[in-house]
Structure 1
């Protein structure tokens, strides 16, 4: 039996790590997340919350709360999921014995960099052709040629998540709206009608693959915006397609493990109408869909994703459990910014953990017991 430390999560976001209350004693976050033991900095929206001044005030708050917790129990451990440099600076005063060691910033930076990671897997995993440019370069002849041949282009920055820094281009004038052209590298690729797929993996002493989901993505104002996930729809894929995605995922996971990464990892693919699978990017962090898997895992096994992530970081073996039960996970969820947001069919439940209504960026989830990918104009293509 593995002895569990008493663990608190520390981070800016109230959303990271939600639905892991069975593992966490609590959390220290900038805004409230409506979970057990949450200690939050403010229940009012902070203007320019990422400024040096706001970060320093949050750091002082974290310092005080960590000292209070340790005064009651000096054995408490603190876990930072993503180990972003800014978060690490906020927590650099905590003694090493009270910090659960995370992944190196160098490895995380590499895995988050789309150009580097696509170059690494070129020739190993199928992917689209990407043309990388510097931000000040606008190759008009090349762009016009691709638009003439393909009709549509996708433009992406080197980093970004949830549709951030990803643009849908139908004419050369659309480039005037793209902020990433100013000072960073970006890539051009043809737009291929597709069904976007995500699979969650935990990389530890061994590797666990969780059920894949269709990402619910919409085009809004020239961008691709993540809206939720559908775990039921992939059950209808043929066995060859599912096997292909899982084999590519294991190959990627082993390569990432060799780089020294441990913990939860998301892999994004797209599938075209001919069942061709293309690798898109890695997400070395908890996914937007992690809460859904974590709740299902907990209901079947009594432990959750945060616990598996923790075991990976401390180099302990995962407990044995019946993976077939987890493979049966079904249903969907929709990220909602307001009470009125819906897809026209009734939802079965709601998850408001991490919801901070004062922030326009904050979301809660409407949960459905069925597939919903065909209920709205989400990205999808008929798979032959």
Structure 2
């Protein structure tokens, strides 16, 4: 099958399918979305198939199709028998999926039988042109609004008079960036944070102390830059929410991000250790942002990141106009603390898109503090070879249930480990660790155990 690296999907005409396009690390969100659709269409047997870019040794997932032209091209060029796993940009991946003949033939077969196909994504993208087909509908925010609101320069320009935003300037060339940063070094003496307009996970950002830092990071590239005063801080809270319409904003909760070297996101922990008055303010600011998104027509899940300095001042960092890294964990948390049959996040998003409102039995709950969870994204910093394998465990949801019900005091799992004897290119996720416990200490211990387990499967080239 040309341009498909792996598939185990067999179409069953007796089922009603939706399509997920995205990475395997967010595969579990689809199980919640499947249940939401099942409520909406009780007379149909709902299932889904997933198109993913993740190249693994083996797959313990149902109905997946693996497409990754970066790895495919490497295989064609290389005489090395060792397997390779390489991360691909979302633009390359969505473009490849959109032009794949097998995918189009499969969609043709499905919509002949069920008349329409819903598409679900981690982040809506205009590069997934499949959603422009007749009878194919995206459940999520409008892709062009997503692109607009993920632009950090647009965010800061929009919000600077509405919520606390760090002092900042916009530069349109690299030369201007150097001139502006050098003129402010004495005043902004704790460092200067610089980012491109788009920078997921801190990939295109740096905390600069000298102009050499900027040359090393950006190589003199002329583009638009956002520079801001770096504020030393201990806390990096992130808030997850859903926009139902311009008035109804649902807040799932607040987690604390783990940020390394000032920019690099490695995971989150819940519940937040911040005091209630700070949590109240974070809810307030995030609702304000959600209502602005809603006025523009945004419908669906979003997140906002902040910092809290040593004097308890809160500053806005960024909007994530998409599902963010805490989404699956918040789905698992809410499932165990909301009233029975109350809608979870994917169901809220489904109703927002289809009906411009939330279901009537929507419940927002803030006191889910009996569950403590943490995540760790194990991303390799340089080209790496694996020398070991951790068997796949995909049902993170079950771990949350067992801890919430008291069947376990604590547990941790290593998810999406790529496999043995792989070359893994710089910046690729090797595995993801999730720890769930009844207290924070046991949760943190699980993260440490998981990291050591993963570290034992690699050596650096």
Gaps of 5+ in 1: 341-346, 377-384
Task: Map Cα deviations across residues 155-176 of structure 1 (whole Å, 9 max, x no partner).
Answer: 1111111011111212121121
Tell me how far 1:180 sits from its aligned partner: 7.3
- Which of residues 210, 213, 229 is equivalent to 1:171? 210
Structure 1 runs of 4+ with >6 Å offset = 372-376
2: distance between equivalents of 1:189 and 1:157? Answer: 12
- Which of residues 58, 69, 85 is equivalent to 2:110? 69
Tell me how far 1:6 sits from its aligned partner: 4.6
**Which residue number corresponds to residue 352 of structure 1?**
415
**Which residue number corresponds to residue 59 of structure 1?**
100
- C-alpha spacing 1:139/1:52, structure 2 compared with 1 (3 Å): closer
2: distance between equivalents of 1:364 and 1:65? Answer: 30
1: distance between equivalents of 2:109 and 2:16? Answer: 15
Alignment partner of 1:8 is 2:18: yes
Alignment partner of 1:336 is 2:346: no
Q: Give secondary structure in 1 for the equivalent of 2:290.
A: helix
**Which residue number corresponds to residue 380 of structure 1?**
none
Alignment partner of 1:20 is 2:30: yes
**Which residue number corresponds to residue 53 of structure 2?**
31
CA contact (8 A) 1:26 1:39 kept: no
Tell me how far 1:238 sits from its aligned partner: 2.2
**Which residue number corresponds to residue 381 of structure 1?**
none
Q: Give secondary structure in 2 for the equivalent of 1:46.
A: helix
2: distance between equivalents of 1:161 and 1:320? Answer: 30
Tell me how far 1:308 sits from its aligned partner: 2.2
1: distance between equivalents of 2:199 and 2:29? Answer: 24
What is the number of equivalent residue pairs in this alignment? 357
- Which of residues 184, 187, 195 is equivalent to 2:223? 184
CA contact (8 A) 2:253 2:366 kept: no
- The structure with the largest alpha-carbon Rg is 2
Tell me how far 1:349 sits from its aligned partner: 1.6
Q: Give secondary structure in 2 for the equivalent of 1:137.
A: helix
CA contact (8 A) 2:257 2:268 kept: yes
Task: Map Cα deviations across residues 272-323 of structure 1 (whole Å, 9 max, x no partner).
Answer: 0001000111111111111111122234456543222222111252333462
1: distance between equivalents of 2:158 and 2:334? Answer: 32
Tell me how far 1:337 sits from its aligned partner: 3.8
**Which residue number corresponds to residue 343 of structure 1?**
none
2: distance between equivalents of 1:144 and 1:287? Answer: 34
CA contact (8 A) 1:134 1:186 kept: yes
**Which residue number corresponds to residue 433 of structure 2?**
366
Tell me: higher relative CO, structure 1 or 2? Use CA pairs within 8 A at least 6 residues apart.
1
TM-score normalised per structure 2: 0.68
What are the residue-to-residue correspondences of 1:97-108 with 2, within 5 Å? 98-100=136-138, 102-108=140-146
Aligned-pair Cα RMSD in Å: 3.3
2: distance between equivalents of 1:260 and 1:161? Answer: 23
1: distance between equivalents of 2:94 and 2:192? Answer: 39
Gaps of 5+ in 2: 1-14, 35-46, 75-87, 381-385, 389-409, 449-461
**Which residue number corresponds to residue 345 of structure 2?**
305
2: distance between equivalents of 1:246 and 1:188? Answer: 26
Greater alpha carbon shift after TM alignment, 120-129 vs 298-307: 298-307
2: distance between equivalents of 1:165 and 1:15? Answer: 22
1: distance between equivalents of 2:336 and 2:324? Answer: 19
TM-score normalised per structure 1: 0.81
CA contact (8 A) 1:21 1:35 kept: no
- C-alpha spacing 1:159/1:193, structure 2 compared with 1 (3 Å): same
**Which residue number corresponds to residue 290 of structure 1?**
327
